[in-house]
Amino acid sequence: MFRKRIDFLAIGDMVTDAFIRLKEAHVKDCIDHHTQELCIKFADKIPFESVTVVRAVGNSANAAVAAAKLGLSSALMADVGNDQNGRECVEALKKAGVTTKYISTHKGMETNYHYVLWYGDERTILVKHQEYPYRLAKVAVTPKWVYISSLGGNSYEYHVAIMEWLKANPDIKVAFQPGTFQMSLGAEKLRGLYERADLFFCNKEEAQRISGTTEGDIKKLMEGLRKMGPKTVIVTDGPKGAYTFDGTDAYFMPPYPDPKPPFERTGAGDAFSSTLTAALAMGMSLEEALLWAPINSAAVVQDIGAQRGLLTRAEIEAWLAKAPADYRPRKI
């Protein structure tokens, strides 16, 4: 029997996001910690504008959907409970063209469900990862690319299994976008992922956390990350743009101009990382892929959630045709 090879296999937790749009709140600057806090009245009834439930999201699920929309054969390896939320997440993936045969369903368990406090164009997410008995699903034909991202806090042994599988299949290309637990484990425990990563994605603040430094020079941060093993490091800096370094050449890629002010920013980073990976999987050069990635980021923030605004290949090419003359990667 002919078994089609998957172009893009994403591995990571899947979740339902419930977006609660707040009406009465404010944002407070925390000078000592260089952060901001979302403030609402304590011990009071807080009115909200709306609730929007978005199924089958999460870093890896978002990546799988982005790849499918760009025309790749895409699959997700994830875990769900045998509840209604889990069934609806799986159905949402199928409708998006993502293969779901590597999703494990666990009897008596719930599917991950997060609450997103949405205020202005930003959000604060209340998260809880279910402690699934993770196991590596059997993959009959190795995929061309594997995209690994956020998993629950009890998943270290699962990571060990993934690293052993990748070691046994050196032809697989690997993209690694570490989540909170993966960053907390450190590069030494996940050496097998860092050293196998053809692409390594994080934002500037995460790069500092992973490196254990307050270094503000992104090129120096990328040099430090690359010493941990990845072939090409990509560090995003929010609306300022993104940077890449492959050990020889470093590039800065400016953001694509927003067609209108962002509506809601969830998923911008996932759109960038998955689109760049998908473009390389389609045979593009890194410089060509860098032209595509910010476009999907700009598109996804024009709608609610991490997937509704994702573009097809034809749509990205149309946006690219209208890009300003200075929209291009620049060597630094």
pLDDT at 328: 97
Say if 169 falls within a structural domain.
yes
Whole-Å CA distances, 141 to 4, 69, 172: 8, 22, 11
Say if 236 falls within a structural domain.
yes
- Burial label, 311 (beta-carbon count in 10 A; 0-12, 13-18, 19+): buried
Looking at residue 272, which CATH number applies to its domain?
A: 3.40.1190.20
Say if 102 falls within a structural domain.
yes
The 10s digit of each residue's pLDDT in 93-141 is 999 999 999 999 999 999 999 999 999 888 899 988 899 999 999 998 9
Say if 323 falls within a structural domain.
yes
List the domain range (segments joined by +) for residue 144.
Answer: 8-13+58-108+130-331
pLDDT at 3: 63
pLDDT at 192: 96
Say if 320 falls within a structural domain.
yes
d(CA 59, CA 81): 18
How many structural domains is the chain composed of?
Answer: 1
C-alpha atoms less than 13 angstroms from C-alpha of 89 in its C-beta half-sphere = 29
d(CA 304, CA 309): 8
Low-confidence ranges of the chain (pLDDT < 70): 1-3, 31-34
Whole-Å CA distances, 299 to 32, 93, 274, 295: 34, 20, 14, 6
Reading the block at residue 23, the tokens are 């009406």
pLDDT at 24: 86
Say if 239 falls within a structural domain.
yes
pLDDT at 321: 97
pLDDT at 84: 97
Say if 33 falls within a structural domain.
no
Say if 118 falls within a structural domain.
no
pLDDT at 309: 93
Report the largest interatomic distance among the alpha carbons of the chain, rounded to a whole angstrom. 63
d(CA 48, CA 318): 37
Please state whether the predicted TM-score (pTM) of the whole model is above 0.75: yes
- The candidate with the shortest Cα–Cα distance to 146, out of 113, 169, 118, 121, is 169
pLDDT at 2: 41
User: What sections of 10-145 are H helices per DSSP?
Assistant: 59-69, 84-95
